[in-house]
Structure 1
């Protein structure tokens, strides 16, 4: 991991440590390690640590920091020093030892409305697309866009596909592809990803203690189920 990064404010109560606008497993693992280090060594006023593909954003209360630490620098500079310390001291442990979360997906009509077009575009059969999508173990890089929306990667380059030019209505549980990413829509929403299937699992439930099914750092593998199996879940 190189020392090439940027630290910049997001308003007066948040700061981002950015290692580059890339999809990088190494950068993501470093961001996750920094998150764990900060949570293990919290400072007064720390509110939250949010991991993205290759960055971490820290939310903080500047009034509390001023009260407890009375820094001689700006609050931003003081928190930036904590982030730099986390970057230098956090050790990546990787996620290879994590249990793989298996997600059932029905790729049949009407659950995969874009599968046939994607297969034709890639000169593959529908079954080949399914096989290529279910073969890898994906890393969950981040949660965003919607509560519980999991950004995973990377898909086989044979089935990578751009977003649609215009968003369309997407149903909760829909599994899509956008570029080298794959993800699951947790709620009904407009969306521009290529929808190739749907899972019967509820990815976001605000009425349970753990409302979000997947977290950044998880490992996921999809497996195909039939339409009949989907409807019996």
Structure 2
């Protein structure tokens, strides 16, 4: 592990340099160990590191680094991973809500049915959140579905759109610009304004996609209105 300052109010703890579950298991351990301390403002896990934010007006870099060093001195003997939450997310894989569905099938020489089977088969792991509030970066996409992102992003992607970019898949939690290939859409809202934190997905959760028809999708969307 390597620690270095990140601006004047954070310390980045580099755990590895490649995106693997082995690296992430270490990140989970470190994250949950540090979460037990009260000296930090926020702790953010990413693909290969953990960033610790602190108040620079009441604490110095050296003070926070000492707290981190002391806390992580027990790391070799710790396993602080809580029960993983698993979410089943319904997705409609229909051209009406999936403008890139056929293009992704053509690129990867798949039928729509094969694409749906490959996309709904894995249990995806949430490595981290970023890009947009509640946007989860998922690991576990089948290699046959890997598709380059658009060279020119769209200016408008509907909230709930399920996309593929390179070897990743994800869900747009809000309407926004984006360059991912949209292969489906979920009626499930990823933002929960009455909860804390106000998002459905969190780092270290798992997701299973479930295929639904366009009629089911429209019923669920209408039930939320």
Match of 1:159 among 116, 141, 145: 145
TM-score under structure 2 length normalisation: 0.89
Counterpart of 2:41? 47
Counterpart of 2:32? 36
Counterpart of 2:223? none
Secondary structure of residue in 2 paired with 1:172: coil
Residue 176 of structure 1 pairs with residue 163 of structure 2: yes
Matches within 5 A, 1:90-169: 90-91=78-79, 93=81, 98-168=84-154, 169=156
| Alignment partners' CA distance in 2, 1:119 and 1:37 | 43
Task: Name structure 1 gaps, 5 residues minimum.
Answer: 67-72
CA RMSD of aligned residues (A): 2.1
Counterpart of 1:22? 18
CA contact (8 A) 1:30 1:90 kept: no
| Alignment partners' CA distance in 2, 1:217 and 1:141 | 6
CA contact (8 A) 2:33 2:80 kept: no
| Alignment partners' CA distance in 1, 2:74 and 2:128 | 19
Matches within 5 A, 1:63-82: 63-65=57-59, 74-75=62-63, 77-79=65-67, 81-82=69-70
TM-score under structure 1 length normalisation: 0.86
- Listed one character per residue, the Cα deviations across residues 21-61 of structure 1 (whole Å, up to 9, x for unaligned) are 42211211211221111112x14x31111011121100012
Change (3 A) 1:82 1:221: same
Equivalences, count: 219
Secondary structure of residue in 1 paired with 2:189: coil
